Amino acid sequence: MGKRKQKIRVALRKNRQKKPRRQNDFTHEDLEDSNLAHGERVSGKGDLTRHRTIIGVEGDENSGLTIDVDMSQCRPGRVLSVHRSGFIVQADGGERYECVVRNVVRAIASDQRTAVVAGDQVMFQPTVNEQGVIERVEPRTSTLSREVRGQEHVLVANVDQVLIVASSADPPLKPSLLDRYLVSAAVGDIAPLICINKADLSNLAALQPIIGLYSQLGYKVVTTSTVSGYGIPRLRELLRDRETVLTGQSGVGKSSLLNALQPGLKLRTGEVSGDSRKGKHTTTSANLLELNFGGWVVDTPGVRQFGLWDTFPEEVEGYFVEFHPFVRNCRYPDCTHTHETDCGIKQAVARGLISECRFESYQRITAGDLV
């Protein structure tokens, strides 16, 4: 039995629109007699928003409606990269096309900025000279997202693992930013893997407390150095035959790691700013790269702040796994673990059963502070 089709009414916004000419010749007296409020101006009426009715196909409970396309004219593919000029899509046969996206695809997306992202499975219609038009984005199985000015910015879709890269020094390791990535990975249903890079800049013994903390919480942690090659073989095995997105603070060496894992990639790398000790952006867009030892990776631009998307303050405690045994000891069922008395979480922190560093991260996240 085929999937039921249904009509969808969408609004199409014009990208460019000239200011309309005023049709009426208002005189000074006409304006004086009008009831314009202070600050209002008389102007022509612009074009109304265009609406279009399209046919959608009913999916499962998670995917909702998707655009019905002419399958005889379209091919399935995957978005490898997103650029200002368009999208690079690889068809099932390996051919690559430079595509634009149909306006209706953007219209039905909740966020114009992330209607199509690296990793998306799409249906596209080839045109000429290895070009094409993306007609539909298939439902995403997983996403890594952050909040940008009150909207969702999807970094990548359809990956099963996120490699959260931090550096032991230069720029300094930020546990609070690391914790934000761990929460975002859990929200997006992606398995996390922590990599502490630039191990050659620190004493490994000094890194053991942070490595031990996250290892005891059940997270996989690998320490690497692209200078000495330390940890690179183990990281290669952890990425083999997986689809992994690399993310982390600017300047931690994500592109350098990929170059060490597969030298033929020859990705551009940069240096840390000498004044601020903050990383500089060298990767400007997400790129899906095939690994010659099996699997795919997505190199994403570095960030300095990471706002969580689709996460309410009262939900955050559920993503801190070490909180679970102690929540039942809180006096109040809606305890925020900040100012309340008889709080099971704060008691556990005082007894050394919960890391003070992790508890500070929790407080900053629930308070809405950005790293």
Domain at 69, CATH number: 2.40.50.140
Which CATH number does the domain housing residue 180 bear?
A: 3.40.50.300
Peptide bond preceding 313: is omega within 30 degrees of 0, i.e. cis? Answer: no
DSSP string, 189-257: T-EEEEEEE-GGGS-HHHHHHHHHHHHHTT-EEEE--TTT-TTHHHHHHHHTT-EEEEEEBTTS-HHHH
User: Is 343 assigned a ligand-binding role in the annotation?
Assistant: yes
Same domain, 165 and 283: yes
Same domain, 268 and 150: yes
d(CA 85, CA 25): 43
User: Is 342 assigned a ligand-binding role in the annotation?
Assistant: no
Q: What is the mean pLDDT of residues 291-316?
A: 80
Same domain, 76 and 128: yes
Backbone angles phi, psi at 37, to 5 degrees: -70, 160
User: Is 255 assigned a ligand-binding role in the annotation?
Assistant: yes
Q: Is residue 319 predicted with pLDDT exceeding 90?
A: yes
User: Is 256 assigned a ligand-binding role in the annotation?
Assistant: yes
User: Is 74 assigned a ligand-binding role in the annotation?
Assistant: no
- Is the pTM of the predicted complex or chain greater than 0.85? no
Q: What is the pLDDT of residue 187?
A: 87
Q: What is the pLDDT of residue 128?
A: 87
Same domain, 295 and 147: yes
Q: What is the mean pLDDT of residues 221-226?
A: 95
Instruction: List Cα–Cα distances, 69 to 9, 86, 132, 157, in angstroms.
Output: 16, 20, 14, 22
Residue 54, domain member (yes or no) = no
Q: What is the pLDDT of residue 367?
A: 85
Q: Which of 299, 333, 351 is where one domain is finished?
A: 299
User: Is 368 assigned a ligand-binding role in the annotation?
Assistant: no
Same domain, 334 and 224: no
Alpha-helix residue ranges (DSSP H) falling in 65-174: 103-108
Sequence length of the chain is 371
d(CA 357, CA 349): 10
Question: Taking the CB of residue 56, how many other CB atoms lie within 10 A of it?
Answer: 19
User: Is 119 assigned a ligand-binding role in the annotation?
Assistant: no
Q: What is the mean pLDDT of residues 262-266?
A: 82
Q: What is the mean pLDDT of residues 356-370?
A: 88
Classify burial at 191, counting beta carbons within 10 Å of its beta carbon; exposed 0-12, middle 13-18, buried 19 or more. Answer: middle
Question: Closest Cα partner for 346 from 323, 366, 369?
Answer: 323
Q: What is the mean pLDDT of residues 326-342?
A: 94
Q: What is the pLDDT of residue 221?
A: 96
Highest mean pLDDT among 134-148, 217-231, 276-290: 217-231
Question: For 180-216, how does the pLDDT look when each residue is reduced to its tens digit (9 = 90+)?
Answer: 889 988 888 899 999 999 999 988 888 999 999 999 9
Q: What is the pLDDT of residue 232?
A: 96
Q: Which of 251, 274, 299 is where one domain is finished?
A: 299
User: Is 335 assigned a ligand-binding role in the annotation?
Assistant: yes
User: Is 197 assigned a ligand-binding role in the annotation?
Assistant: yes
Average pLDDT, rounded, for the chain: 79
Q: What is the pLDDT of residue 162?
A: 94
User: Is 250 assigned a ligand-binding role in the annotation?
Assistant: yes
Q: Is residue 360 predicted with pLDDT exceeding 90?
A: yes
Which CATH number does the domain housing residue 330 bear?
A: 1.10.40.50
Q: Which residue has the tokens 């993306």?
A: 134
Domain that holds residue 73: 65-137
Question: Closest Cα partner for 119 from 89, 163, 86?
Answer: 89
User: Is 278 assigned a ligand-binding role in the annotation?
Assistant: no
User: Is 86 assigned a ligand-binding role in the annotation?
Assistant: no
Query: Into how many domains does the chain fold?
Result: 3
User: Is 329 assigned a ligand-binding role in the annotation?
Assistant: no
